[in-house]
């Protein structure tokens, strides 16, 4: 070994190395600071949320293949970067359905949200308002249309509609959303019946959660969730009456399996704002939705929560854009867990994307601050990815930036 000349450390040199961070006393801030990815937020959420609501968020239908394949499709992307471009200035903003958004993603409609965290839809809507992105309120939300409008008066609020068997009650919600200033209606069309969400059945998932020996035991290491649950107003649906059964039983009882494209045309006549059809899973239905009056379609298999082995939305994207892109916007959801997933969707022709689980993981991990963290993580990842691709704006992203490894394609 070579001879090393040694000396006593210079105190000034040591002083430069000693950079102790000030302690963070706020527990929520401290744990969120540790999260660098959406998967980190998921792990925090898992530790802090009882099993039934966590599994309701995390799980999907049957063998959960639809969700796994949607995520695999994003993991099978190979980016094609362009070098020696000036990317010192970057613009993530875009015009979506006639209005400017700061980034090309918004918060998807999620039901029972106060079950995940007591701050629920208020946290989501206010975080979206602050970030300049849309927030979607679900028909199955646990805050009312008017409460969300009051909490985020300057936000871009969208309302998601399930058609119930009682059409009058359904359209009364639409009228309330219109009166409250919601500018876009998302009609979800892929729930004629509830999907086979096996995790929920095994957990005995009910609305509201039942206090059983199992749930109490599971709650012991998660006291904050239960304290919030028991000391805030009772969990209830803001748009319908109380319910004491399982989620699947509620969906099967409430939702109308007779809805057709004729109903979509009728809804178009009732709603004055932008109309989006959510749950499109083939190109032909996308064309029919646009012919019936939709301003945009969302390629979605409901986060894998309805039909297992459903089509992969990201794979449907290029052909759908070719067929209807000149007449309506194409949006995408399902499986988005990274800013690179969003960049890839935009490069392949999508105008916009929506996040559901990623938002709820942040909410469960830290309430409003956790949702802010989700948005920050995705925005940071998008910015870094676009600069590495040599793209300064969303308009500069193009299909050539993305190569898709056809892992699931048939061999011919």
Residues belonging to the active site: 302
Residue with token string 């005995």: 204
What is the C-alpha separation between 22 and 158, in angstroms, rounded?
A: 41
Structure tokens at 141: 């939300």
Residue 402, SS3?
A: strand
Which residues 6+ apart lie within 8 Å of 16 measured at CB?
none
Q: What is the DSSP letter of 18?
A: -
In sign, the C-alpha dihedral spanning 53, 58, 319, 410 is negative
- Distance in angstroms (rounded) separating the CA atoms of residues 257 and 192: 4
How many CB atoms neighbour CB 82 within 10 A?
A: 14
Q: Which of 136, 22, 134, 64 is nearest to 304 (CA)?
A: 64
Report yes or no: 113 and 124 within 8 Å, Cβ to Cβ.
yes
Q: What whole-number distance in Å separates Cα of residue 139 and Cα of residue 99?
A: 23
Residue 275 phi, psi dihedral angles, 5° rounding: -120, 125
Residue 28, phi then psi, degrees to nearest 5: -65, -45
Q: How far is CA 258 from CA 278, 297, 306, in A?
A: 17, 20, 17
User: What is the 3-state secondary structure of 187-202?
Assistant: EECCCCCCCCCHHHHH
Of 340, 351, 328, the closest CA to residue 391 belongs to 340
What count of residues does the chain have? 412
Distance CA 352, CA 136 (A): 13
| 8 Å CB contact between 143 and 114 | yes
Answer whether 205's CB lies under 8 Å from 30's CB: no
> By CB neighbour count within 10 A (0-12 exposed, 13-18 middle, 19+ buried), where does 4 fall?
exposed
DSSP summary character for residue 273? S
């Amino acid at each position: 070994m070579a001879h090393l000349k040694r000396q006593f450390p210079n105190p000034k040199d040591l002083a430069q190395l000693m950079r102790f961070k000030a302690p963070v006393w706020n527990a929520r801030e401290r744990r969120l600071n540790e999260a660098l990815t959406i998967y980190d937020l998921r792990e925090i959420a898992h530790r802090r949320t009882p099993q039934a609501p966590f599994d309701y968020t995390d799980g999907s239908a049957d063998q959960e293949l639809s969700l796994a394949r949607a995520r695999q499709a994003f993991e099978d992307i190979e980016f094609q970067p362009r070098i020696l471009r000036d990317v010192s200035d970057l613009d993530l903003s875009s015009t979506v359905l006639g209005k400017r958004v700061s980034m090309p993603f918004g918060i998807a409609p999620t039901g029972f949200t106060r079950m995940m965290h007591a701050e629920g839809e208020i946290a989501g809507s206010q975080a979206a308002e602050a970030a300049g992105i849309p927030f979607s309120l679900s028909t199955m939300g646990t805050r009312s249309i008017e409460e969300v409008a009051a909490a985020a008066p300057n936000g871009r609020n969208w309302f998601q509609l399930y058609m119930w068997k009682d059409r009058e009650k359904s359209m009364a919600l639409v009228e309330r959303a219109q009166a409250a200033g919601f500018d876009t209606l998302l009609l979800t069309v892929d729930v004629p019946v509830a999907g086979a969400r096996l995790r929920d059945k095994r957990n005995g998932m009910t609305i509201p959660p039942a206090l059983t020996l199992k749930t109490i035991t599971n709650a012991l290491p998660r006291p904050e969730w239960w304290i919030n649950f028991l000391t805030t107003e009772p969990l209830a649906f803001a748009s319908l009456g109380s319910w004491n059964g399982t989620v699947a039983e509620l969906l099967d009882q409430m939702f109308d399996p007779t809805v057709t494209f004729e109903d979509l045309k009728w809804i178009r006549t009732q709603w004055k704002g932008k109309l989006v059809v959510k749950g499109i899973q083939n190109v032909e239905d996308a064309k029919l939705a646009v012919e019936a009056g939709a301003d945009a379609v969302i390629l979605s298999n409901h986060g894998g929560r309805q039909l297992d082995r459903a089509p992969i939305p990201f794979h449907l994207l290029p052909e759908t854009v070719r067929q209807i892109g000149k007449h309506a916007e194409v949006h995408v959801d399902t499986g988005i867990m990274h800013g690179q997933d969003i960049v890839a969707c935009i490069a392949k022709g999508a105008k916009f994307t929506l996040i559901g689980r990623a938002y709820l993981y942040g909410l469960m991990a830290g309430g409003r601050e956790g949702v802010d963290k989700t948005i920050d993580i995705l925005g940071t990842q998008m910015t870094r990815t676009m600069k590495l691709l040599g793209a300064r704006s969303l308009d500069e992203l193009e299909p050539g930036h993305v190569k898709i490894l056809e892992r699931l394609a048939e061999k011919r």
